[in-house]
Amino acid sequence: MLPFIGLLMCVLGVLLFVTLSVAALAMGPNVKEGWLPLDDNIRGKTPILVEWDGTNAVIHRGNQKASVLVYLTSNSSITPEFSAFVTEMERKRKTDYVLFAVRPSGFGNFQILADEFRNKRVDIGYEPITQDRAVRLMGRQP
């Protein structure tokens, strides 16, 4: 009886391995990137991660994410929803800063977006990230 249990366990294990391998390959390696600002404690400010794709800003707050339309047209000013976020960051500029994850589709108009914060003396940082890779901030969260 015992040899059959061992054989059964081996077969089950192999099946489990195959299933997980297929799942991992289907998701693709490196599908998610976790950023851990190394000098977070030195600067003493909390990063607020904002993904920018040229149209929408995805604002990360802890485990929550909110997508906000920034420009209605290419020539228009920022929407009231995003303006509220800029105002909030201006209020918190001594304790927080905005860390942008800039996607390739957002390269063209990123500086215009960044100027919204620079003009309000809100500190920013920015880092490029490929178009489809998910990103999250690790470590200290607001």
Note the residues at the interface with other proteins (CB under 8 A).
Answer: 2-3, 5-6, 9-10, 13-14, 16-17, 20-21, 23-24, 27, 29-39, 43, 45, 47, 97, 99, 102, 104-108, 110-111, 123-130, 134, 138
Output the six-digit token pair for 17.
Answer: 């391995």
- ∠127-130-133 over CA atoms, to 5°? 105
The distance of closest approach from Cβ of residue 51 to other proteins in the complex, given in angstroms and rounded to an integer, is 14
Nearer to other proteins by C-beta: 30 or 80? 30
The distance of closest approach from Cβ of residue 46 to other proteins in the complex, given in angstroms and rounded to an integer, is 12
Nearer to other proteins by C-beta: 5 or 80? 5
The distance of closest approach from Cβ of residue 62 to other proteins in the complex, given in angstroms and rounded to an integer, is 17
Report yes or no: 50 and 99 within 8 Å, Cβ to Cβ.
Answer: yes
Report yes or no: 93 and 120 within 8 Å, Cβ to Cβ.
Answer: yes
Nearer to other proteins by C-beta: 69 or 134? 134
Element (H, E) at 112: helix 110-118
The distance of closest approach from Cβ of residue 15 to other proteins in the complex, given in angstroms and rounded to an integer, is 10
The distance of closest approach from Cβ of residue 116 to other proteins in the complex, given in angstroms and rounded to an integer, is 14
Based on C-alpha coordinates, what's the Rg of the chain? Answer: 21
Nearer to other proteins by C-beta: 36 or 62? 36
* Cross-sheet strand order for the sheet of 56-61: 64-69, 56-61, 46-52, 96-102, 124-128
Nearer to other proteins by C-beta: 58 or 81? 58
Least Cα distance to 102 among 56, 67, 47, 46 occurs for 56
